[in-house]
Chains A and B, each alone.
Chain A
Amino acid sequence: MKKRILALLLTAAMTVSMLTGCGDSKSTSASADGVQEITWMFWDDLDATEDLISKGYKETVDRFNKDYEGVYHVTPITTNLEEYYPKLNAMVAAGETPDCFIVSPGPNLDVYVEPGVAADLTSYLKADGWMDTFNGGEGAFSQQTYDGKIYAVPLNIAAACVFYNTEMFSTAGITEMPTDWDGMLSACQKLQDAGYTPITISAGTAWCLSMLAGYLCDSEGVDTAAIDAGTASWTDANVVNAANKLVEISKYFQPTAAGDTNDVATANFYNEEAAMLIQGSWAIAQINGSNPDFEDKCGVFAFPGTDGRVIAKSDSLAMSASTEHPEAVIAFMKYFTDDTAQKYTAEVGGKIPVTKVEYDASKAPAQLAYVMDVFGNAKSTFGFYNESLASTEAGAAFDDTMVSIYLGTPVEEGLESLEDFYKNNVWKK
């Protein structure tokens, strides 16, 4: 038996030493033949994904590697969405920051800009007229600019609007899209009288409800920058009005709103069990993919009462400030904003392109045209509340407050607690 244990130990030791050999560590950034290796970190798997935008990114990566063969090479590091930031942060903490990585603007990006992890891209953008290819020039980078310097490049835009079932609307006798709050309420009432569930939403998933709440706050003139600075308060009359509106419209939600997840709520819409869905335009791919017949009946209008302001969100690319091959990274980033990629974004992905690219509207999903309309008519954009407040935690506090108000907490109480949170965590800093 002793011999057996000895043998076991020896085998284990051998295996371990064998595996040490197997353990090649971090990628060397320049291999023997002089190819510059860079890493790109992304929050979805490129091979197994069904998401059309992610598939587009994979094509971009392959195109880049082919076109620059022998000069540059990019290796994607993929995780799933949940573990993306933990892993990215662990790598940064260990000094292994990926050369290029995707990030959501707002407090998520703040975290990398403040300590100098993300590189300043302004000079690269201004060179070669790269910045001019973007729709809106310098304005396109409003969410990525800090102190006049740009730290990330947006790749596509999604806007939050109201998707609606055109058939249900005509049966209920609604001829004009609502353009203000009363119009919205009366449309809901007409739909309910006609026997339809007016709105489907995932009230339990905080960010979904917060989209609606954000619009309501904005329509009441709530200024998040002022609140963050401490010159306005969450208990001001305008916020109270917004919260009351939320309670008012929640009468028209589907009965299972509190328990439905986002997918279920969206499924309610494309399975024609409800008339309206308030969501970001990324839902287009999900809707059309799950129920292709629905595309013809699906219309879009801007959320009423906001005076032309639209909630928009973009995926952005940042470059590591400590990268050894900035030229390679910039070349790589340019591939995401070139015509091929941006056309794909619109025609296949159904998201709004960031450049002034010409795309074939007939290939794109029908709803995209409407969204582009909404976006084109928008006077300005603002971010999702939970992505544009003082910190991600503040954003989550906002979301939670709105959900709890929906679930029955009195408005004053809910807003008081949000105010307290800000007192303890935001304003004193």
Chain B
Amino acid sequence: MSKSSKKKNKSSIVVKTLIYILLSILAVIYLLPLIWVIYVSLKDDKTLFVSPWSMPERLMIENYTFAWSAGKLGIATLNSAIVCVVTLLLCLVLGSMAAFAIGRMKWKLANATMTYFLTGMMIPVHCVLIPLFTRFSKMGLTNSRLGLILPYLTLSLPLTIFIMSGFFKGLPNELFESACIDGCSIYRIFTHIAFPLSKTGLFVTGLMTFVANWNELLLAMVFISDDTKKTLPVSLSKFVGPYNTNYSQMFAAIVIAIIPTIIVYCCFSNSIVDGLTQGAVKG
């Protein structure tokens, strides 16, 4: 190796090490509060105020088992899963269809339509809660999972369309031109080219949508009254709230809420990594 590139290597090693140190410190700041939540959830609530940092005498697994059984968290998780997965699938399909049209096809009203969908994202849910509930009540859809799926879907569409249209816009023109020469219809271009190639976008959007719906509390609380149909955040609110006083139990409930999201997230995020590296190799 020549002298100059050796120097380059040395300085790049120093730089790399610095970068790693910085990232690690940041990672610690990120993980510390979460580890603390788990820590507190295993303590006894009574000793919490006296000595919050002391080691728990014994691991209070009861906090978890009580939250799970009395809170009926098993059913709640199932309900959340059904609602969120169906919403996710429908949202990705319908959303990317609309995003493709807005992002890539040529028509005058494209921007206006985008803005139209965006208003759905800009209005806070609290504003539309009562009119929405009244409408659904008239349709007989309250207290049902479908009655949650439809609003969740409609509320997730703007974000999906917004992000996906950005991704579709970023696809290179040559792909479409060559497909055109091959005699593809616009539908085939969508299903065979655009949709598969935006995997990264789909995964990122899918993750954001799924997570937002998974954690959604207000609509679920108001729309669903039946204990067997409540979603996870609703059931968790029994333990987690500004008026609750059993903090260690509250934290146990928070941990239970977090774990499924982390699991789903890890599954999805690995696919995002694939999408990332795929993009890097291409060219």
Q: Which positions in A face B, CB cutoff 8 Å?
A: 1-2, 5, 8-9, 11-12, 15-16, 19-20, 22-26, 39, 44-45, 47-50, 77-83, 86-87, 89-91, 93-96, 263-264, 267, 271, 286, 290-291
Q: Which residue of B lies closest to A22 (CB)?
A: B145
The interface residues of chain B lying within 8 Å CB-to-CB of A39 are: 225
The interface residues of chain B lying within 8 Å CB-to-CB of A264 are: 49
Cβ of B212 under 8 Å from chain A: no
CB 8 Å contact bits of B183-213 with A (1 = contact, 0 = none) = 0000110011001100000000000000000
Q: List 12 A-B contacts (CB under 8 A).
A: A15-B86, A20-B144, A22-B146, A26-B137, A79-B221, A79-B237, A82-B242, A90-B129, A93-B133, A94-B138, A96-B137, A271-B50
Query: Would B218 and A263 count as touching, CB distance under 8 A?
Result: no
The complex places the Cα of A44 from the Cα of B227 at a distance, in Å, of: 13
The complex places the Cα of A291 from the Cα of B50 at a distance, in Å, of: 11
The interface residues of chain B lying within 8 Å CB-to-CB of A80 are: 221, 237-238, 241, 243
CB 8 Å contact bits of B72-114 with A (1 = contact, 0 = none) = 1000000000100010011001000000000000000000000
CB 8 Å contact bits of B57-77 with A (1 = contact, 0 = none) = 000000000110011100000
- Decide yes or no: A19 and B221 within 8 Å by CB, A48-B238, A290-B46 being known contacts: no
Q: Which residue of B lies closest to A86 (CB)?
A: B222
The interface residues of chain B lying within 8 Å CB-to-CB of A49 are: 238
Main secondary structure of the interface of A (DSSP, over half): helix
Shortest 3 CB-CB contacts between residues of A and residues of B = A23-B144, A94-B137, A25-B140
Query: Would B93 and A26 count as touching, CB distance under 8 A?
Result: no
- Quick one: which of B72, B89, B241, B245 contacts A263, CB cutoff 8 A? B245
Cβ of B121 under 8 Å from chain A: no
Name B117-174 residues within 8 Å CB distance of A: 129-130, 133-134, 137-138, 140-147, 149
**Shortest beta-carbon distance, A317 to chain B, in Å?**
18
The interface residues of chain B lying within 8 Å CB-to-CB of A45 are: 71, 238
The interface residues of chain A lying within 8 Å CB-to-CB of B144 are: 19-20, 22-25
Query: Would B147 and A23 count as touching, CB distance under 8 A?
Result: yes
- Decide yes or no: A12 and B196 within 8 Å by CB, A5-B191, A19-B144 being known contacts: no
- Quick one: which of A22, A25, A48 contacts B70, CB cutoff 8 A? A48
- Quick one: which of B45, B46, B134, B222 contacts A83, CB cutoff 8 A? B222
The complex places the Cα of A5 from the Cα of B202 at a distance, in Å, of: 14
Q: Which residue of B lies closest to A291 (CB)?
A: B46
Query: Would A86 and B245 count as touching, CB distance under 8 A?
Result: no
Cβ of B239 under 8 Å from chain A: yes
The interface residues of chain A lying within 8 Å CB-to-CB of B137 are: 26, 94-96
Query: Would B143 and A24 count as touching, CB distance under 8 A?
Result: yes
The interface residues of chain A lying within 8 Å CB-to-CB of B146 are: 16, 19-20, 22-23
The interface residues of chain A lying within 8 Å CB-to-CB of B66 are: 48
**Shortest beta-carbon distance, A292 to chain B, in Å?**
10
The interface residues of chain B lying within 8 Å CB-to-CB of A22 are: 144-146
**Shortest beta-carbon distance, A223 to chain B, in Å?**
31
Cβ of B246 under 8 Å from chain A: yes
The complex places the Cα of A39 from the Cα of B72 at a distance, in Å, of: 21
The interface residues of chain A lying within 8 Å CB-to-CB of B245 are: 50, 263, 286
Q: Which residue of A lies closest to B140 (CB)?
A: A25
Query: Would A50 and B246 count as touching, CB distance under 8 A?
Result: yes
Query: Would B238 and A94 count as touching, CB distance under 8 A?
Result: no
- Quick one: which of A1, A19, A291 contacts B192, CB cutoff 8 A? A1
Query: Would B237 and A82 count as touching, CB distance under 8 A?
Result: yes
The complex places the Cα of A290 from the Cα of B137 at a distance, in Å, of: 43
The interface residues of chain A lying within 8 Å CB-to-CB of B71 are: 45, 47-48
- Decide yes or no: A47 and B145 within 8 Å by CB, A25-B140, A80-B241 being known contacts: no
Query: Would A1 and B86 count as touching, CB distance under 8 A?
Result: no
The interface residues of chain A lying within 8 Å CB-to-CB of B237 are: 79-80, 82-83
Not counting A19-B144, A96-B137, a sample of 11 additional A-B residue pairs whose C-beta atoms are within 8 angstroms of each other reads A1-B195, A9-B93, A23-B143, A24-B144, A45-B71, A50-B246, A78-B227, A82-B237, A82-B241, A86-B222, A91-B133
Q: Which residue of A lies closest to B46 (CB)?
A: A290
Query: Would B72 and A47 count as touching, CB distance under 8 A?
Result: yes
The complex places the Cα of A253 from the Cα of B238 at a distance, in Å, of: 32
- Quick one: which of A9, A25, A94, A263 contacts B134, CB cutoff 8 A? A94
Query: Would A12 and B90 count as touching, CB distance under 8 A?
Result: yes
| Most chain A C-beta atoms within 10 Å of own C-beta, residue among B49, B187, B188, B218 | B49
The complex places the Cα of A109 from the Cα of B134 at a distance, in Å, of: 22
Q: Which residue of B lies closest to A266 (CB)?
A: B245
**Shortest beta-carbon distance, B229 to chain A, in Å?**
8
The interface residues of chain A lying within 8 Å CB-to-CB of B242 are: 82
CB 8 Å contact bits of B209-251 with A (1 = contact, 0 = none) = 0000000011001100101000000000111011101110000
**Shortest beta-carbon distance, A273 to chain B, in Å?**
10
The interface residues of chain B lying within 8 Å CB-to-CB of A89 are: 130
